[in-house]
Each structure stands twice: as C-alpha cells, then as structure tokens.
Structure 1
C-alpha cells in the first residue's frame, strides 16, 4: 500500500470508531456498506450518465443491460423482506412516492443536469472521490440545488398528483414480482434488438471479465459491468436490511445545503419543508448522525481508497470558464430536479423500481428526454465524456 492509501484507510478507521460511539447502532454497519459501495462504483466505473449517452449516441446498450440486470436482482432480493414488512426489531419499507407533475419536471431536469455534468448522483460521489475537481464543483452545487428545491417543494406539491402506487401493495408480490420481471425481460429483448456492439470493446465496458478473473484486474483493473451491477443490488439490499429502507442519496445533499444556508442566517422556521419534526431534528443533530449523510461520505471515501490503492488517484478535470459554468448548472439542475422527483437515479429510479413503485418507472421515462436534451446542451460546453 502507498502512503495515500494508508492515510485514507486510517481516516476511515478513525471515522468508523467515532460513528460506533453514536446512539444509532445501525450507523456503523451502514458506513461499512457505503465504503464498499464507493469501492464498487469506482472499480466498476459504474455511472448512469455514460450508459445512456452510449445508448443514445451509439446504440451501445451494455450499460443499460447491466442496469436491467441490477434491477432484476434487487427486485428479487427486496421482495421477501418487503412482503414480511419487518426484520429483526424494525420495520422495512420500500421507496414509494406519488406520481406527480413535480416528479415529471424534476426527473427531466435531473436528466439534463446528469448529461451536462457528465455524472449522476452516485457517479458524482465516486468520481469526486477519485480526485476530479470539476465533479467536486458539481457536488457543491448539487447541495444548493437540492436545498432550493426543498424550499419550493410545497408549491410544486399543490400541482396535480396521484397517490403512491406500489405494485406489491396493490396486487401482492405473487402478481407484482412476475409482472415487473416480465417488463424488465421485455425491455432487455427490445434493447438487445437495438444494440450495436462496438468494434473496440474496452475492458471496463465489458459485461464480464474479458480474459478471466485475476488478482491484478481486481486491484488495478476496471471491474466488468455485471459484477458491479450484482454487487450494487446486494449492497442496496443490505441497506434495506440494516436501515429498514432502501439506498438514497439526495436527502443528504438537501441537508448539507440547509446547514450551509443556516451559516448565512437562514431560518428553518420560514420553510414548510424544514419546519417539520424530522427535518428540524436533522438540522439540530451532527451530520454523522444522519444515515444518508454518513453513507454519502462513505461512498466518497470508498472511492478515494480504491483509487489510492490502485495508484490512480489524481486531481483531474478541466477547470476553465466553460467547465466551471457547466458544472455549476449541472449541479443545480440535478439537485433541484432530484428534490422535486423524490430522489435521483438511486433513490427514485433504482430503489423505487426495486420496491415495485410506479414512481421509479415514471422517473426513468421522464429522465430519458432529459438525457437526450442534456447531451445536446453539453456539446456547447464541449462535454463529451460521461461516466
């Protein structure tokens, strides 16, 4: 191990020892899970932005295939626990949200921001953790965007909406499970028909190990898409098992933005959203007592650890006027959109569909036009690469 990886590992251990002293007994386990998430995301270079850019521009569906596989695995893993409704001593609930105008607009805005920024919410965390300076700017303004969205949320929620619909709640898992798996299988068949295999497949974009598994590829190489997708499905299931709810990201960014606003004199009592009991408690408590916050920090540190062990950490990312301005706009759009849409590519799309919630399906349907528009806008900023 090199010096940087030793320092990062020590920092993680010190932070873990501090988290262990907190009253929430599950937080230390969630922190470990999030570290593994960060390692997995970085080693697999598993981003949603790049997958859809490749699909739209080149008809390369490999990234989409891996996401379908991830959703199938997560759906199968989630079903028994959600059907039971509890595990050990706590309740288990899925990610379920209303079908609303706010979600439609928010998902579209997030899709635009995701392509303009070159990364999704989870992608911004692991790319930032590997040293990309531009992505760090995206993360900062993601917080501001999510906070601003929280201030406007009550107004958006006055617009037409339909109450949350979970296929499992409506029809039972004996119907919901085969129905959702059939839809995913159909989508796989459609995308297989549309898929055009690239002439030159990079190792990092293969569905499985090209030359077989070996230790060198595990530590220094890029993990194949299917391995990464499988691990993310299992890790999301572990989050559900430990915390009682699926993986989410956006809430933490909203909270961080609110805490920063308080430093400049903003009063939570002036906001309908932030004057609620849960939100007020989160603002009063330390960041590390918030589950989503410590998990976001863990993902960032996990990616930093993986990059440093592989000797791949370096400060990168073009910092010029176009790069900075596009990063700011991307962060604001993703943050604002995610707050309106009840989550990002993780909380709304991944966890929502795994919970058989229709809002997860509506999210991706509305985000896809945003991807298309965002790709075209990004060309003005010379943004050609997405993870």
Structure 2
C-alpha cells in the first residue's frame, strides 16, 4: 500500500526544477509500452494506464504502508494509517455493488478471496519483517524503484527471487491446517458484511486515538494546494487515498479481479529461471495450467505485470515532474544486507500468504475476505519486529 520511504513524508514546498531529460525518457517509455500493449488488447492498454495512474498517485503523496506503520509505532503518528483506513472504507463501498451482482459490463468479476491458514499467517508475519528491513512494501518497492532508488531496485530483484522461492515451497506449506477461503459477504450477506467492515475500520481509528495516536501530517493541506500541485506534487494523503481506492475499483471492472502485485514478481523470476535451464515440470505450482500458460506468453499479456510496469513508469514520470528523481549513490554494507534480506523475506512471505499489502490486505478487505483481516493482524507484529531490527542495520 508503502510509506514507503522514498520520498520523504515532509516534502518541500519550494519546487525543484523539472528534470527535462528524465521527463522525456519517461514519456517516451510510456508511449512505447502503451503502443505495445494496445497491440495485444484494449483491456491491457487500460490496465497499463491504471498502473501509470497508481504510480503517480503513490509517488506524489509518498503514500505507503511501511513508513506509516513505523511512524505509528515509534512516534504515535497515525496520519498514514488513517489515510489507509479511509482508502479501505471507500474501496469497500465501491466494491460492494459490483461484487454483489458478480458481473460488470456483462463479464464475471470476483473478489480477492484466499484461504486462511497457519502458512498464510506465517507468510504475512514474515512479510511484515521484510517491509521494515527493505524499507518498502510491494507497491512502495515499485514506486520507489521508479523514483530512481538504487537500493529499492535491489529490494525488487530479491523480492522476485523470494517470491519464486516461496512458490517452489508452497505445496509443503499448504499442508498446514487452515479453514479455507472465507468471504464475509457470502457467509453473512452484504447487509451485514458491509456495515461490519466499515464499523471495524472506524473502531480501529477510535482505538488508535484512545491510545494517544495523533495526526502529525494533514490529510489535506488546503492552504498549500495549487493547480500546479496536481502535476508536480506533493499531493495530500487524502487525495491519493481516494485515487488508490478508485483505481482498484477500475481494476476490478477492467480485469475482473482487484489490484495485485506480487504474482508478477514470481512470474518474472520463474521466466528467468526457465531461461537459465530450470524445468517448470519439477514444480507442482508451476505445472498448473494457468502458470504454464503465463510462462509461455509474453509478460505484456500478463495483467499484473503490465500494471506493475505502469506503476514504475508512472512514478518515474512523477519524480521527473517533481524534480526529485533520485541519483544513484553508494549503499552501506549493512543497508545493502537489509535490502537483500528484506526483499527475500517479503517475496517468500507474499507467496505463502497469497499476496502482499495490496493483493492480500487492501484488495482482500475490499472484497470482504477474512484473509485480508488476518493478513494485517499477522503482518503488524512482523512490522514491530522489523522496526526493532532496523537499528542493527543502521537504517
């Protein structure tokens, strides 16, 4: 979802000069990739466009999960978490009528509902630790890498490796006890599930305030918002929260399922492994029909991959417009180690827990999946441990 540490939550009011060369590169890359996916289908083009919008929205507000949880734990600043709660509430309301009828524009749609099990809980816990070591979650890794962070690009590489590693072990982990997939709307009915979820989000906010949480970063700073801000940032947290909910809803309408990220990471690493001589037939997971077809097709035919590319390029475009594209710099050894470990742990955890902070938590809760609620309940203790480990790595 990514606070996703780069850029800083305290963005400057005096704009930096637009980085013209980077802006032209970003626009050229977006146009070329858009033309390529249009040759596949209009649907892929629309999803790529949604991805670009997500990347801009994430970058311009420094909207994320990792830093938001860290600030809440260390400083009592619940600004980022509050924005997430609003985002979830809006997404729940947008998703409800579409999922209730089960179709959009004559095509079937389905929510992000996944099994609840011990292995899923462990995966979410591991993901929480990896978030803090890596310094970003799944969406944060994409937009920070697009913003030029060399360290985050390294996190992305090992995120992919970890996700592929997890896919190879998934069959063993899946044998652990679980209760299967539970959709609250199917078990309780929408008339109960919808107010129950909204009430739970309101209760979480009330509990945070009761225990001293404060909003140190305004959700919408009206006094400093200008029309130029839409192009160059920084955006208010509330604007990005609303846009992320809207883009997830659009993904549901166009793709037939909500926004997800980490499947593509597994796929990219698997394709690299095939190129290196690995045989997918040796893996139960990759022997499945969907997985085999994905390995044989171009990544531009994969919905999640196309959206991820859009997020990276959208963030690249936003960073160039803001004049904040990060220039490559050296990485200290301990920070480098944390990046590698964080990426591996997040990737492995995401595969075990059927997604990340986006596919499992955000899209899961919006779909009334019990899995989404259990995911965040297990990821938060992992975040706490990760926060305590950060000083050792001098983060």
Q: 1:209 aligns with which of 214, 221, 227?
A: 221
2:39 maps to 1:21: yes
2:313 maps to 1:301: yes
Task: In structure 2, list runs of 5 or more residues that go unmatched.
Answer: 1-17
SS in 2 for 1:362: helix
Per the alignment, residue 392 of structure 2 pairs with: 380
1:212 Cα deviation from its structure 2 partner? 4.3
User: 2:329, 2:87 → 1: CA distance?
Assistant: 29
Per the alignment, residue 365 of structure 2 pairs with: 353
Contact 2:133/2:339, CA 8 A, preserved across alignment: yes
Per the alignment, residue 224 of structure 1 pairs with: 236
Per the alignment, residue 343 of structure 1 pairs with: 355
2:269 maps to 1:251: no
Deviations 1:69-94 (A, max 9, x none): 01100000000000010111321100
2:55 maps to 1:38: yes
Q: 2:181 aligns with which of 146, 161, 164?
A: 164
TM, length-normalised to structure 2: 0.93
1:273 Cα deviation from its structure 2 partner? 0.2
1:317 Cα deviation from its structure 2 partner? 5.7
2:139 maps to 1:127: no
Deviations 1:98-157 (A, max 9, x none): 110111110010000000111110001000100100000000000000000000000000
Relative to structure 1, the CA distance from residue 140 to residue 360 in structure 2 (aligned partners, 3 Å threshold; closer, same or farther) is same
Instruction: Please show how residues 304-343 of structure 1 align to structure 2 within 5 Å.
Output: 304-316=316-328, 318-343=330-355
TM, length-normalised to structure 1: 0.95
User: 1:111, 1:309 → 2: CA distance?
Assistant: 32
SS in 2 for 1:274: coil
Instruction: Please show how residues 257-272 of structure 1 align to structure 2 within 5 Å.
Output: 257-272=269-284
User: 2:385, 2:213 → 1: CA distance?
Assistant: 22
Contact 2:299/2:305, CA 8 A, preserved across alignment: yes
Relative to structure 1, the CA distance from residue 359 to residue 318 in structure 2 (aligned partners, 3 Å threshold; closer, same or farther) is farther
Per the alignment, residue 109 of structure 1 pairs with: 126
Contact 1:206/1:224, CA 8 A, preserved across alignment: yes
1:357 Cα deviation from its structure 2 partner? 0.4
2:81 maps to 1:69: no
Task: Compute the RMSD of aligned alpha carbons.
Answer: 1.3
Per the alignment, residue 3 of structure 1 pairs with: 21
Relative to structure 1, the CA distance from residue 317 to residue 37 in structure 2 (aligned partners, 3 Å threshold; closer, same or farther) is farther
User: 1:46, 1:123 → 2: CA distance?
Assistant: 8
User: 1:348, 1:361 → 2: CA distance?
Assistant: 9
Relative to structure 1, the CA distance from residue 234 to residue 196 in structure 2 (aligned partners, 3 Å threshold; closer, same or farther) is same
Deviations 1:30-83 (A, max 9, x none): 000000000000001011000000111111111111111011000000000000
Contact 2:123/2:353, CA 8 A, preserved across alignment: yes
Moved more, 283-292 or 312-321: 312-321
Contact 1:60/1:195, CA 8 A, preserved across alignment: no
Per the alignment, residue 12 of structure 2 pairs with: none
Relative to structure 1, the CA distance from residue 12 to residue 341 in structure 2 (aligned partners, 3 Å threshold; closer, same or farther) is same
2:162 maps to 1:145: yes
Relative to structure 1, the CA distance from residue 149 to residue 317 in structure 2 (aligned partners, 3 Å threshold; closer, same or farther) is farther
Relative to structure 1, the CA distance from residue 215 to residue 316 in structure 2 (aligned partners, 3 Å threshold; closer, same or farther) is farther
1:3 Cα deviation from its structure 2 partner? 2.5
SS in 1 for 2:272: helix
Per the alignment, residue 380 of structure 2 pairs with: 368
Deviations 1:249-280 (A, max 9, x none): 01000000101111221100000000000000
Contact 1:61/1:195, CA 8 A, preserved across alignment: no
SS in 2 for 1:163: strand
1:340 Cα deviation from its structure 2 partner? 0.2
